[in-house]
Amino acid sequence: MLLIPAIDLKDGHCVRLQQGDMQKATTFGEDPAAMARQWLQAGARRLHLVDLNGAFAGKPQNFAAIKSILKAVENYANEVDLGEIPVQLGGGIRDLDTIEKYIDAGIRYVIIGTAAVKNPGFLQDACAAFGGHIIVGLDAKDGKVATDGWSKLTGHEVIDLGKKFEDYGVESIIYTDIGRDGMLSGINIDATVKLAQALTIPVIASGGLGSMADIEQLCAVEGEGIEGVICGRAIYSGDLDFAAAQARADELNG
């Protein structure tokens, strides 16, 4: 079970939002590269970046901060002789040129959210051009997919879209329960498992992680196809000790 620290970027700083509300942003760090290094030293084996400004603008807005994080990751990997540490990134990715720019810069996985739902043809083209590098982010409330920074609820069922995107060739799906995100109220295990059981590609859980109990519950269902979990507010607020949580997950599932 991969525990994947989230570094959410707003105006070049590391922040966390509550339920995707840009007006409810708490700043946790002024130096994104230092934050990335902190999580790597705590045992992270992958990082999750979100360009929040980009998600709302529909185009990249924090490229300088992202490049500084990638440099820090590369330097750390070289220091400890770890090989490549994957970094995944979402937020405002709407065209193939942006994907190419990010992959050339060193991003391993590009996460497509709103554009995947609104423009499936773009997602198909992305999978064809950048096979092995595309993750879809499905954000949902009560089983219905939301788009546009969670501001619009669609009529699409999560599982239906998950199956469709799997056929396109996406690498994995990040499933976020937006009613829980940033609230420390616990992962929606049941909904995450249902999606994972319906697919053959891995699912990454997201939204609401609050405690070690959540990690233990996820480890218990890892065999259903849940590859990892995005760790956000809990590891910044101190409600969850990241290093201890990853060690516990490794102990439970190897």
Active-site residue list: 8, 139
The single residue listed with the structure tokens 């807005």 is 61
**What letters, b where the CB count within 10 A reaches 16 and e where it falls short, cover 212-240?**
eebbebbbebbeebbbbbbbbbbbbeeeb
Q: For residues 76 and 210, what is the distance between their CA atoms, to the nearest angstrom?
A: 28
Q: Nearest 5°: CA angle at 169, between 165 and 173? A: 55
Q: For residues 175 and 230, what is the distance between their CA atoms, to the nearest angstrom?
A: 10
Tokens of 205: 């859980």
Name residues whose C-beta falls within 8 Å of residue 99's C-beta, 6 or more positions apart in sequence: 93, 110, 126, 129, 130, 133, 134
Q: For residues 113 and 93, what is the distance between their CA atoms, to the nearest angstrom?
A: 8
Q: For residues 45 and 231, what is the distance between their CA atoms, to the nearest angstrom?
A: 12
